[in-house]
């Protein structure tokens, strides 16, 4: 079954894992045709794949198997001295990964989260332990609601895991990304992503290093059906998960230093590597660049985007005219937001500061490019934007 799961793409996964197979597994356990041990192994693979590729699947929630797992978790936790810690951890991992972003009750939350953290804080560098830690952290990264109850204690442990890895490098790529995933998403979910995430833990520098290492692990030349495969594309999936939290991060943290410039340079290189066969990566990065312009202060965001080579990359792609219509649309949206932002005035931004920035952009040749799109901006931003010709690249004739 593991081999079948490894070969599934997202569409195949959604069509396969409806409520029926979960109920079937429940029935096979009842009839003793499938041992609980084997059922857990199977369900861990299903949950692992679901969370890794960020798939939304509610089939488990309404299945009989869900009720069985909830009862088993509570019963095992109540055994005290006779408690089987390994079994409880396995049950909690399956349950947390198969659910969508939350645990259904406060009682189960207070059992599962401490149990998963207990596994996640293990520091041994043995491969078996590393895999256990990876699955525990991946499971925790799938829990986003309910953490507020014990958020401070929870996040303190997650920060400890990140700091220890930065010193000793004991986690896998996926485990480390999952720890950051929990820290960034949980903080942002409750609206208080702190600047010290950058100052203490250096998110920009860490994300850059991880993306650079993962970029070298992905076969960017893989085409067709192979490019959609799941676990065989694990490193690609981790890249996608990093982009998820980078997008959230730049909504909350003000960019201001060289670490963020290096991160943008890394994303630019990622776009160049992915543009031929993995267009979604380019679209994701362009979407992040647009959000940066929207959420960040004028002077800072344009300086960082200039230094990071983002304007260079997009302008080069426009001149090459080898992009498809989806990319063309993203490029237009990018320049549309640049134009809008340049007309705004930040609270602490003087006309002198703004003039210096515009002069710098003019020196680089970007001011003329942006101006060349002005005539079409009102039309493109109208309510008929999505009713334009499918040949969006036609709008680049004046570039």
| Distance from C-alpha of 272 to C-alpha of 292, rounded to nearest angstrom | 20
Torsion angle, alpha carbons of 19, 21, 22, 24, to 10: 120
Three-state DSSP class for 75? helix
Three-state DSSP class for 102? strand
**Nearest CA among 338, 340, 336 for reference residue 379:** 336
Domains in the chain: boundaries: 254-399
For residue 190 the two structure tokens come to 């409750």
The predicted structure's pLDDT at residue 372: 58
Residue whose tokens read 């160049």: 272
Burial class (CB in 10 A: 0-12, 13-18, 19+), 334: buried
Contact 96, 147 (CB under 8 A): no
Q: How many CB atoms lie within 10 A of CB 6?
A: 15
Q: How many CB atoms lie within 10 A of CB 86?
A: 10
| Distance from C-alpha of 215 to C-alpha of 236, rounded to nearest angstrom | 8
The more confidently predicted of residues 147 and 289 is 289
For residue 256 the two structure tokens come to 């201001």
Max mean pLDDT among 288-292, 315-319, 361-365 falls in: 288-292
Rounded to 5°, the CA angle 393-314-346 comes to 110
Q: For the segment 29-49, what is each residue's pLDDT rounded down to a tens digit?
A: 999 999 999 999 999 999 998
pTM for the structure as a whole: 0.86
Residue 136 DSSP class: H
In this prediction, residue 236 has a pLDDT band, given cuts at 50, 70 and 90, of confident
| Distance from C-alpha of 369 to C-alpha of 102, rounded to nearest angstrom | 46
The predicted structure's pLDDT at residue 119: 97
């Amino acid at each position: 079954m593991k081999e079948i799961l490894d070969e599934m793409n997202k569409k195949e996964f959604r069509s396969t894992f409806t409520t029926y197979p979960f109920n079937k597994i429940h029935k096979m356990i009842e009839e003793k045709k499938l041992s609980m041990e084997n059922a857990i192994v199977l369900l861990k693979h299903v949950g692992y794949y679901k969370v890794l590729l960020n798939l939304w699947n509610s089939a488990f929630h309404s299945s009989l198997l869900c009720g069985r797992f909830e009862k088993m978790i509570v019963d095992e936790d109540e055994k005290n001295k006779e408690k089987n810690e390994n079994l409880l951890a396995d049950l909690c991992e399956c349950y947390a990964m198969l659910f969508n972003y939350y645990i259904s009750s406060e009682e189960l939350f207070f059992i599962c989260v401490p149990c998963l953290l207990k596994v996640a804080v293990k520091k041994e560098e043995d491969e078996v332990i590393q895999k256990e830690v990876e699955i525990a952290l991946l499971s925790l990264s799938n829990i986003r609601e309910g953490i507020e109850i014990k958020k401070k204690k929870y996040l303190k442990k997650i920060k400890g895991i990140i700091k220890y890895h930065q010193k000793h490098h004991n986690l896998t790529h996926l485990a480390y990304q999952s720890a950051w995933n929990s820290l960034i998403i949980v903080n942002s979910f409750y609206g208080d992503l702190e600047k010290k995430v950058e100052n203490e833990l250096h998110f920009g520098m860490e994300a850059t290093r991880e993306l650079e290492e993962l970029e070298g692990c992905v076969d960017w030349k893989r085409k067709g059906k192979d490019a959609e495969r799941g676990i065989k594309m694990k490193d690609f999936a981790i890249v996608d998960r990093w982009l998820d939290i980078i997008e959230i991060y730049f909504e909350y943290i003000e960019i201001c230093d060289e670490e963020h410039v290096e991160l943008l340079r890394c994303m630019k290189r990622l776009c160049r590597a992915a543009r031929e066969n993995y267009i979604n990566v380019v679209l994701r990065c362009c979407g992040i660049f647009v959000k940066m312009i929207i959420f960040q202060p004028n002077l800072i965001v344009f300086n960082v985007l200039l230094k990071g080579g983002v304007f260079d990359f997009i302008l080069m792609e426009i001149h090459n005219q080898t992009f498809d219509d989806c990319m063309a649309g993203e490029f237009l949206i990018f320049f549309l937001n640049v134009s809008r932002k340049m007309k705004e005035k930040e609270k602490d931004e003087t006309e002198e500061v703004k003039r210096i920035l515009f002069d710098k952009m003019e020196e680089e040749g970007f001011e003329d490019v942006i101006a060349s799109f002005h005539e079409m901006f009102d039309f493109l931003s109208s309510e008929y934007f999505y009713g334009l010709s499918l040949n969006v690249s036609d709008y680049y004739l004046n570039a």
